[in-house]
């Protein structure tokens, strides 16, 4: 009986996860890399990164690509952007959550492998 209950719980958990992924994918769209709002979000990500990283300050160059997804009145932006560290240009990934009050939260920022 315990084994059957565990299997049932796992089936429900996997079904729920699959449904959530399908919903978030259907709400995703490509961003306009020239949109001033998207550029503002990329600059926010760089500013937050620079506040936490005292070794190297990055300077914004451009947004390369990205997607946005609306979930519960919040918009999640996953951006690939180019930034210069003073000696070379590299690509970085940033995940920024925009709340309805236009407040941003940086969830993730990292250099991407070439």
| pLDDT given at position 39 | 97
DSSP string, 36-90: HHHHHHHHHHHHHHHHH-SS---EEEEEEEEEEEEETTEEEEEEEEEEE-SS-EE
**Contact between 95 and 112 (Cβ < 8 Å):** no
Distance CA 28, CA 86 (A): 34
Could you identify the residue written with the tokens 């978030």? 24
pLDDT in tens, 1-47: 444 443 345 444 454 444 444 444 557 899 999 999 999 999 999 99
pTM score: 0.74
pLDDT in tens, 46-102: 999 999 988 889 999 999 999 999 988 999 999 999 999 999 999 999 999 999 988
| pLDDT given at position 20 | 45
């Amino acid at each position: 009986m315990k084994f059957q209950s565990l299997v049932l719980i796992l089936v429900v958990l996997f079904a729920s996860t699959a449904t959530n992924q399908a919903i978030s994918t259907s709400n995703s769209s490509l961003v306009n890399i020239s949109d001033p709002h998207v550029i503002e979000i990329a600059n926010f990500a760089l500013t937050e990164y620079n506040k936490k990283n005292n070794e190297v300050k990055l300077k914004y160059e451009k947004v390369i690509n990205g997607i946005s997804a609306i979930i519960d009145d919040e918009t999640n932006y996953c951006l690939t952007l180019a930034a210069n560290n003073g000696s070379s240009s590299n690509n970085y990934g940033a995940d920024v959550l925009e709340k309805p009050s236009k407040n941003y939260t940086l969830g993730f920022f990292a250099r991407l492998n070439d």
